[in-house]
A and B are shown apart, each in its own frame.
Chain A
Amino acid sequence: MSCIVAILEHHEGELRKVSGEVCSEAVRFARFAGANVVAVAAGSGAQTAARAVGRFGVAEAIALEGGALLSYSGEHYAAVLAAAIRSRDPSLILGGATGFGRDILPRLGAHLGVSLAADCVGVRAEGGKIEVRRPIFAGKAILTTTFVARPALVSLRPNVFAIEAQPVATKVETVAVADSAARAATLLGRKEEESSDRVDLAEAEIVVSGGRGLKNPETFKRLLEPLAQALGAAVGASRAVVDAGWRPHAEQVGQTGRTVAPKLYIACGISGAIQHLAGMRTARTIVAINKDPEAPIFKIADYGIVGDCEEILPVLTEAVRKLLGR
C-alpha cells in the first residue's frame, strides 16, 4: 500500500495549527488514493507531538529524538527526516509552508532528489499522478504542476486546508537518533519581539492591516493595535509604511512581504497597490476603510467604508469590544 508522510511542526511536543491542517489533508488524500498516512515528528518533544496526531485520524507516527536533534538545526533535521522517510518510499510528503517548512523542506527535497511545490493551495491525484496548485508572483497568478518524479514533496499554505477531527488510536515508533558530524549552522539563541503575545501573520484568522492613510507611526500604533487586540488579530502593514520605517518588515503584506489567507482581512488606510493586493486577495472576507472612494482596494473588498481611519477606527474598536465582550 502506498504511503503518505505528514511532517509535523511542534514546539516541545505541542503541535502547531498547520500540522493539524497537514494531517487532515494527508488523511483526506489517503482515503481517496487508498494509502496509509505516517506522521513524522523530529526533535525535543517529538513523542508527545507524534501521539497527538490520532485526533486528526492518523494511526501511525514516527518520533525522531536525541543525538543530532538535541538542538534545532535545519541541516541535521532534514538529513534525519530524509533517512527516516526514504525507507517508507512514500508517494507524497506533506508539510506546512511556515518558517520551519521553509527551512526543512527544500533541504529534504535535495536529499530525496525532488523539487518542492511550495505554499500550495490545492493537491489532488490526477491519473495516478499528483497535481498541485500554487500561487506565484505572490498571488498574481496560479501555477498548476504535476509531479513526474517520486515522491511528490508539497508544502501547504497555512489557513487554506480544513482541519478534521476524527480520533483514532496512534501507534508511535520512537527512534533514537545518532549524533552527526555533518557541517551545520549552530543556533545560538532566539529573541522575541517585545510583545511576543502577538498573533503570527501567516496563521492568523484575522489580520488588521494599515497603510499611509494612518498618517504616521504614532497614529498607526494608537488606532490599529487596539483594534487588532480586540479582534485577536495579527497586525499587517503595507510596503509603503514598512519602507518608511513605521513598522517592522515582519508585518509587511504583499509581494516583498508575507502572503496571507485569513478569514477576515481589514485594510485601513491602504489604497491597494498591485503588490499589496497580490498578498491578501485570497482572504475569505476583505474589509477596506479608506477616505478615497476611488482607491483600488475597494474593487476587491467585500465591504467598504469610505472615511477617515482616525474617525472610524476608535468607534470600530469600541464596537468590536462590546460585541465580543472583550
Chain B
Amino acid sequence: MNVTVCVKRVPSTATRLKIAPEAKGIDESGIEFVINPYDEFAVEEALKIIEKAGGELTILTLGPESASKEIRTCLALGATKAVHLVSDDSFRDGLSVARALAEALQSIPSDLILLGRQAVDHDNAQVGLMIATLLGLPAVIDVVKVEISGSEATVEREVEGGARETYRLSLPCLLTAQKGLNEPRLPNLKGIMAAKKKPVAARPIGSFPNSQKLDRIELPAERSGGRIVGKGQDAVSELLRLLREEAKVI
C-alpha cells in the first residue's frame, strides 16, 4: 500500500497579514510558516494506513526552497521519502499547480493520494479534484472517515449542514481531508533524527501556464464597528430596536 500526500507550506492561521509593496503578494517578514492544517490531517491518515497495511508514504510538495522545513517535519512524523518541486514565489493558479503535481505523481506509484481539502492561504479548494480528473482517478473530497479494505476504500464525506455521505471507491483513488478526520500526532526526537537521513528528491518545477493572472492582493475594508449599545440585559430592547429600525435585518 503506497500512499502519497501533497503538502503545502502556508502562513500560520494566527498570522496578521501585511501586503507586500506593489500589492502582488503578502509581506513574509516575521511570518511563521507551517504545514497547511488540512494537510496535517492527510499526513496523519496516511501514517495510520501504512502503519496498518505496510508500504511507503511519499510527501509531494510544490513550494519554495524554504518548504524543505515542512517536508522534514513530515519525514520526522514517519513519511518514507519526499519529492520537492521547487518553485519561485510567482503566482500559480489551481490548474497550474494541479498539472505540476499530476505530472510528478505519474512517476510516484500510489494506491492512494491524499491532500488537505484546501490550503488556508489561497483557499482555492480545487487542486485535489483537478489532479484526480487529470489522472482519471475517482475522488471524494472533505472526508472525515476512511476505511481501506483490500483494493477498496469506504469513506465518509462531510457535506453542508453536518450531514455525511458514504462513498465507495476502488484503488487507486484520491481523497481530500477535512477537519475531524483524526488528531494529528507531533514529531518525536527519534523521528526528527531519522528524518535527516530520509531521501528528498528536489527538482525545479516545470512550466505550467496560468489561466488567471494576478492583478492585486489587498486588505479588506476596515469595518467601522465598536458601538456599544449597553450593558447587561437592559440593553436587549435597544439592540432589537436598532436591528429592526437602523440595520433592518430582522
CB atoms of A185 and B168 under 8 A apart: yes
Bound state CA distance, A302 and B141, in angstroms?
Answer: 36
User: Which of B46-54, B69-77, B158-166, B190-198 faces chain A?
Assistant: B158-166
Bound state CA distance, A282 and B222, in angstroms?
Answer: 10
User: Which of B1-9, B13-21, B81-89 faces chain A?
Assistant: B13-21
Bound state CA distance, A190 and B163, in angstroms?
Answer: 7
B154 cross-chain contacts in A, Cβ below 8 A: 188
A115 at interface, CB cutoff 8 A: yes
CB atoms of A299 and B226 under 8 A apart: yes
* Secondary structure of the B contact surface, majority rule: mixed
B62 at interface, CB cutoff 8 A: no
Within 8 A of A (CB), among B112-149: 120-130, 132-134, 136-142, 144
B17 cross-chain contacts in A, Cβ below 8 A: 137, 140-141
Within 8 A of B (CB), among A124-172: 131-132, 134-149
Partner of B217, one of A143, A275, A299, A316: A143
Partner of B161, one of A148, A198, A284, A316: A198
CB atoms of A107 and B95 under 8 A apart: no
- Residue of B with least CB distance to A257: B179
B249 at interface, CB cutoff 8 A: yes
CB atoms of A256 and B158 under 8 A apart: no
B144 cross-chain contacts in A, Cβ below 8 A: 249
CB atoms of B139 and A249 under 8 A apart: no
CB atoms of A323 and B250 under 8 A apart: yes
CB atoms of B211 and A114 under 8 A apart: yes
- Residue of A with least CB distance to B226: A299
CB atoms of B125 and A102 under 8 A apart: yes
CB atoms of A187 and B243 under 8 A apart: no
- Residue of A with least CB distance to B127: A106
A324 at interface, CB cutoff 8 A: yes
Nearest CB in chain B: distance from A184 CB, A: 5
Bound state CA distance, A200 and B240, in angstroms?
Answer: 24
B232 cross-chain contacts in A, Cβ below 8 A: 305-308, 311-312
Bound state CA distance, A287 and B220, in angstroms?
Answer: 19
Within 8 A of B (CB), among A60-111: 74-75, 78, 98-99, 102-103, 105-107, 109-111
CB atoms of A190 and B138 under 8 A apart: no
- Residue of B with least CB distance to A132: B212
Of B19, B139, B140, chain A has the most CB atoms within 10 Å of the CB of B139
A281 cross-chain contacts in B, Cβ below 8 A: 220, 223
CB atoms of A116 and B124 under 8 A apart: yes
CB atoms of B220 and A256 under 8 A apart: no
A193 at interface, CB cutoff 8 A: yes
Partner of A106, one of B126, B142, B173, B215: B126
Bound state CA distance, A282 and B160, in angstroms?
Answer: 20
Which residues of A come within 8 Å of B, CB atoms? 74-75, 78, 98-99, 102-103, 105-107, 109-111, 113-119, 131-132, 134-149, 182-193, 196, 198, 200-203, 206, 231, 242, 248-252, 255-257, 259, 263-264, 273-275, 281-282, 284-287, 293, 298-308, 311-312, 315-316, 319-320, 323-324
For the complex with contacts A138-B123, A305-B231, 20 further pairs of A-B residues with Cβ separation under 8 Å are A74-B139, A99-B160, A115-B94, A116-B124, A118-B126, A141-B217, A143-B122, A144-B218, A190-B159, A191-B163, A191-B164, A193-B163, A249-B158, A282-B220, A286-B225, A298-B225, A300-B223, A302-B247, A303-B239, A305-B239
Query: What are 15 A-B contacts with C-beta separation under 8 Å?
Result: A106-B94, A107-B129, A117-B212, A136-B121, A141-B26, A141-B220, A145-B93, A148-B213, A186-B168, A281-B223, A284-B249, A299-B223, A302-B223, A306-B231, A312-B236
